[in-house]
Structure 1
Amino acid sequence: MELPTGQMNWSIWFWTCWPGSEGETMYIQWFVKGISSAGPGGQGVFTWADAKGLILAGHGIVSNWWRNKPGNRISPPEIEAVLTSDNLNRHVHDYASFGSLSPFISVASGCVERDALLGRNNVYSAIDTALAFATEDGRHPGALFYGWLPVGLNPAVELSAVGESIRDLNVYHRWSPFQLEGEITAKINIPANQIEKVEWWDLSVTGHQDTPVDVCNNSRFVAPTPLLNARELF
């Protein structure tokens, strides 16, 4: 399967030029987010119209924690209180009981498994992982969202603006049965203008895993170019 237009690599490095900064502090990571027709967090029916509405109406993808807040209202102190390492661990390893309360959003970016015994690397596709989740291995329709996130090079759970590279063993050293899902976790919400497109998949219609039923491109998508470490001459 091909990446969305212009996405030649999964990640694009850039520099953060704070005074005293030395080297890279963040990078841009392209991702795929799968949402099943059972709805985010399994809460109700999620249709193709709903999927398109998340980007066309400008809502983006919000965390279950925000979605389930009374009146959908949150405050900066509340955000600070829920962005903790304990909550991140529960999001990854206890989602069945914590998912509806989680301020984190799981997205897939692919992963590589090293097989020392056979002397080879096994590559796990982000698209395949997200599609299997969105459709429950082809049993029902689902949506795939393609977009980008800024991700920290080190754990930065308390900072809502950057994602966590859960899949990266150089960052998160703890063994996890879910590491090969290639997970990056966004926080609180993924803005609509960081989502390039959404696809609707229904394998009962297409009969195979190479073709979505429909595609909606986001006309208000903003590429991460302004964040990259290249400047035009003037």
Structure 2
Amino acid sequence: MFFQKVVKGIANISSYEAQAIVEANGIVCNWWRNAVTITKEEIKSNLVDSNIFHHLNHYNHKLPSGHSLAHLGTSYGDVSPFISTTAGAIQRDAFHRRNILFDPFITALCFATNNFTASGFVFYAYLITLGKAAVALEQFAEEVRELHIYQYYLPYHHEGEIMAKVVIPSAQIEKAEEYDGPAVLRELKNRRKPVPISAVITNPAYSHPDDFINIRELL
């Protein structure tokens, strides 16, 4: 078991909403947000392999008309019980005999700013992983980026996904930083690290993972 540090970008939310996420509500899945209330029985029936497959491969695809959750949204992403985060990824370039690192911070920035066109927040958190698939266990995240666990081809493997389930509790969220997309793009083009455009939102009730064991840092 590991405490895996992750980052997640969320676009087009206010400072008030970001503060509520950090200090109280946590990051909830789209299914819960759209349904407003969910039950333990519903959680059990939705944490299944087929929903992971749709989240990873059909996120923006239209739901079939007969889907049981079609009244909550139009796409598989709208009703997903899973939450995408990133911890970075490494892919092999065999031709050039090198490995390529995909920085999790840059991946999170892309999502936070809608590919550098909007403002948004990058959240810093941690998830608990088992080192194996445990889809039915709500408390453990899925290491989707790990090829020894998720062996089928994923077009977005470079995003370094660590997949949370239902909610990331606020106690596991350290802070949030706000970024402006166009400003971020200018900084990256000039090979400078982007800086937040407002005060960092920190969590006074953060449960620091250093109090535990087996901590995995971002790549």
Q: TM-score range by the shorter chain?
A: 0.7 to 0.9
What corresponds to 2:46 in structure 1?
82
Q: Structure 1 residues 205, 227: CA separation in 2 closer, same or farther (over 3 Å shift)?
A: same
**Inter-partner Cα distance in structure 2 for 1:60 and 1:172:** 27
Q: Are positions 1:29 and 2:8 aligned together?
A: no
- Identical aligned pairs, as a percentage? 37
What corresponds to 2:191 in structure 1?
none
1:157-176 aligned at under 5 Å gives the runs 157-176=135-154
Q: By how many angstroms is 1:123 displaced?
A: 0.2
Q: Structure 1 residues 205, 172: CA separation in 2 closer, same or farther (over 3 Å shift)?
A: closer
Of residues 131, 147, 172, the one that matches 2:125 is 147
Does the 8 Å CA contact 2:114/2:181 hold for their aligned counterparts?
no
Alpha-carbon deviations, 1:33-86, whole Å to 9, x = none? 10011xxxxxxxx21221112112x100000111111xx222211110000000
Q: By how many angstroms is 1:164 displaced?
A: 0.3
What corresponds to 1:102 in structure 2?
80
Of residues 14, 22, 40, the one that matches 1:55 is 22
TM-score normalised according to structure 1 size: 0.79
What corresponds to 1:222 in structure 2?
207
Q: By how many angstroms is 1:116 displaced?
A: 1.1
Does the 8 Å CA contact 1:205/1:213 hold for their aligned counterparts?
no
Q: Are positions 1:212 and 2:196 aligned together?
A: yes
TM-score normalised according to structure 2 size: 0.84
Of residues 110, 116, 132, the one that matches 1:132 is 110
Alpha-carbon deviations, 1:137-187, whole Å to 9, x = none? 211101100010001211100000000011110110001111111001000
Of residues 73, 78, 91, the one that matches 2:37 is 73
CA root-mean-square deviation: 1.6
What corresponds to 2:157 in structure 1?
179
Count of paired positions: 194
**SS where residue 208 of structure 1 aligns?**
helix
Alpha-carbon deviations, 1:69-126, whole Å to 9, x = none? 1xx2222111100000000010010101200100000001100011111110000000
**Inter-partner Cα distance in structure 2 for 1:32 and 1:80:** 26
What corresponds to 2:65 in structure 1?
none
Does the 8 Å CA contact 1:63/1:102 hold for their aligned counterparts?
yes
Does the 8 Å CA contact 1:111/1:125 hold for their aligned counterparts?
yes
**Inter-partner Cα distance in structure 2 for 1:181 and 1:204:** 21
**SS where residue 144 of structure 1 aligns?**
strand
Of the structure 1 ranges 79-88 and 211-220, higher mean CA displacement relative to structure 2 is found in 211-220
